[in-house]
Chain A
Amino acid sequence: MQCDDLGPEMLEYLAGTLPDDRLAEIRAHLAQCQACRDDVDATAELWNELGAAPAPRPESSRMRARFDAALQGYIDGQAESRVVSFAAARRPALRWQPWLQFAGAAALVVIGVGLGRFVTVGPPAQSNSEIALLREELRDTRQMVTLSLLQQQSASERLKGVNTSSQLEQPSTEVVAALLDTLKRDPNVNVRLASVDALRRFSGRDAVRKGVVEALPQQESPLVQIAMVDFILEAAGPDAKGVLQRLAEDMMLNQAVRARAERGLKQVGL
């Protein structure tokens, strides 16, 4: 195997998705090539850095309102064009009935005024409680959507589920537990990586820190392991020394992961 052969397969190597025979070849090459080992380390680090680069959240409600208006306009436009073509076919008959058009317009005005009064009149206290209730329902729905997406077959859908969790202001324990479970069991590397990022928001919780530490040895992907080492380092700071020490000395772990743990130890002052 040549150094150039490694490049296109590096990500699959780091993700732990290569077949065993190819994995063995790459490992053998890495054992004797310092330049490629450095290349693998740098790529793994860059990959995780990219994952930590945030994008702003879209103004979903404003965008939805705009889209609904555009959609309604499109639907109305289609209905109108159907009416126009129908009217064109019938024009001679309608032309002799102007009273019908006048009566229709008058009826529309009456309905519009009535609807306006109906919508605007009503006790404000009741409106406020209804709004609060709606908000609560919306929050529950979002939690349900998140949990449901995390169960989907498609990795893209599960990725959406993980990302949706970041839209929740106060996610339930159930959502946090589902994220931890995703980190432990999801077959897709990108979904697991996204769950590490999502769990950062809850790194203050003991159960989350403990869950991530426990899940680390079960991971097969060095990319995810490196992201988890970063998580542990950020969440626990100097308290992470013991865990990092164990990782740095664990010869069963990928060399890039051990190197990251060693750098972490230096960061916390060991």
Chain B
Amino acid sequence: MRAVREGDLTRMGVLFERHHRPLFDFLYRMTGDRGAAEDLVQDVFVRMLRYRATYRDDGRFETWMFRIARNVRADHYRKHGAAVYVPDDDMDWASSEPGPGHLLERAREMARLNRALQSLREDRRELIVMVRYQGMSHEQVGAVLGVDAGTVKVRFHRALKELRDAFSRVPEGE
């Protein structure tokens, strides 16, 4: 990113190649919409390009990137309203499960869990997505959100508890 900031814009391609997948994963799990997530990934990289001068050497690149991603997503919600989750038709919920006997049951459980996750308040869902799916530590999440690690720890525990409650409320067999 330093090279991009200094004017070598062609290096953005390398950053895109390296980071577009985790960004897509984050934005998909936040919006529940594949098309929107792909568009938002583009917006994040274009904003990185435009605001490259704001990148500072003293922080992690991912922290800066996720701050931009949060802003892009917030703008998207302002324009289009909060996400109403509709599972993608082409989403293969069972693709990671090898045993045919468990496929249907597992696919239903995954769909229930995803519904519970999408029912959480956005800030709660965001914490779970950053820690569980992006593998970020409490310190890293704190740097993105602008709060200390202890606060993240407490909020995260609350989010996980709410998810458990929401999961238990989603009816089985849906």
Contact = CB atoms under 8 A, between A and B. Distances in A.
Interface stretch (B67-75, B77-85, B158-166): B158-166
A188 B62 CA distance: 18
B42 A70 contact: yes
A55 B28 contact: yes
A60 B20 contact: yes
A71 B13 contact: yes
A242 interface: no
Interface stretch (A24-32, A87-95, A119-127, A190-198): A190-198
A176 interface: no
Contacts of B114: 53
On chain B, which size bracket covers the interface?
A: 35 or more
B98 interface: yes
B42 A58 contact: no
B62 A156 contact: yes
A130 B41 CA distance: 31
Query: Interface size class for chain A?
Result: 35 or more
A235 interface: yes
A269 interface: no
Contacts of B55: none
A58 B164 contact: no
A63 B42 contact: yes
Contacts of A78: 9
Interface string A53-96: 11110111001101110110011001000000000000000000
A67 B45 contact: yes
Contact of B21 (A43, A58, A191, A237): A58
Interface in A136-179: 155-156, 159-160, 163-164, 167
B99 A237 contact: yes
Given A10-B157, A49-B113, A200 B16 contact: no
A98 to B, nearest CB: 33
A7 B161 contact: yes
A1 interface: no
Given A54-B92, A63-B20, A159 B34 contact: no
Interface of B: 9-10, 12-13, 16-18, 20-22, 24-25, 28-29, 34, 37-38, 41-42, 45-46, 49, 62, 88, 90-93, 95-99, 101-102, 106, 109-110, 113-114, 117, 128, 132-137, 140, 153-154, 156-157, 160-161, 163-164, 167
Interface of A: 7-11, 42-43, 46-47, 49-56, 58-60, 63-64, 66-68, 70-71, 74-75, 78, 155-156, 159-160, 163-164, 167, 188, 190-191, 194, 197, 200-201, 203-204, 234-235, 237
Given A43-B164, A52-B106, 16 more contacts: A8-B154, A46-B167, A49-B109, A49-B113, A53-B113, A54-B96, A55-B29, A68-B13, A156-B62, A159-B134, A163-B22, A164-B21, A190-B135, A191-B135, A194-B135, A234-B98
